[in-house]
């Protein structure tokens, strides 16, 4: 009987793990937070962008909307680089692991939204 219960709880546990993987959604499970750092670059306020992978699985090929984006702070292309006319890659196109964050800063008068527009889910 004890063995059978162990077996049932193992099945239950495995189904929870399986569910966790299945619950990841590209794009919507990327969260973007921004805060003003309090510093100025080229006479404009500096903003810190945090992109959070809000799920257990890795997200790859992430693209953010960035048309019309400007910055008086020079941004290293390994942080943020144009992918095409409307979208940017982040972090040299490296995958963002589950529950990890990626940060970069820019400087402009107004906050720029950086909405995620593309990603792919990779569960192991």
> Six-digit token pair at 31?
């969260």
What's the min distance (Å) between Cβ of 15 and ligand NAG? 32
> For residues 117 and 63, is the Cβ–Cβ distance under 8 A?
yes
What's the min distance (Å) between Cβ of 34 and ligand NAG? 11
What's the min distance (Å) between Cβ of 42 and ligand NAG? 23
Between 102 and 114, whose beta carbon lies closer to ligand NAG? 102
What's the min distance (Å) between Cβ of 90 and ligand NAG? 11
**Closest residue to ligand NAG: CB criterion:** 103
Q: How far apart are CA 123 and CA 17, in angstroms?
A: 11
Which residues make up the interface to ligand NAG (CB under 6 A)?
A: 50, 101-103
Between 44 and 48, whose beta carbon lies closer to ligand NAG? 48
User: Residue 104 forms beta bridges with which residues?
Assistant: 49
Between 65 and 79, whose beta carbon lies closer to ligand NAG? 79
Other CB atoms closer than 10 Å to residue 14's CB: what's the count? 10
Q: How far apart are CA 67 and CA 46, in angstroms?
A: 19
Q: How far apart are CA 71 and CA 59, in angstroms?
A: 26
Between 53 and 119, whose beta carbon lies closer to ligand NAG? 53
The terminus-to-terminus CA distance of the chain in angstroms comes to 33
């Amino acid at each position: 009987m004890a063995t059978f219960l162990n077996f049932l709880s193992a099945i239950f546990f495995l189904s929870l793990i399986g569910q966790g993987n299945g619950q990841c959604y590209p794009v919507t499970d990327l969260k973007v937070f921004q805060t003003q750092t309090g510093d100025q670059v080229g006479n404009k306020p500096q903003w810190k962008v945090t992109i959070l992978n809000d799920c257990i699985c890795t997200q790859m090929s992430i693209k953010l909307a960035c048309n019309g984006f400007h910055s008086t702070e020079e941004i290293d292309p390994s942080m943020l680089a144009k992918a095409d006319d409307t979208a940017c890659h982040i972090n040299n196109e490296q995958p963002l692991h589950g529950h990890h964050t990626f940060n970069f800063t820019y400087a402009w008068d107004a906050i720029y939204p950086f909405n995620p527009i593309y990603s792919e889910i990779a569960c192991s």
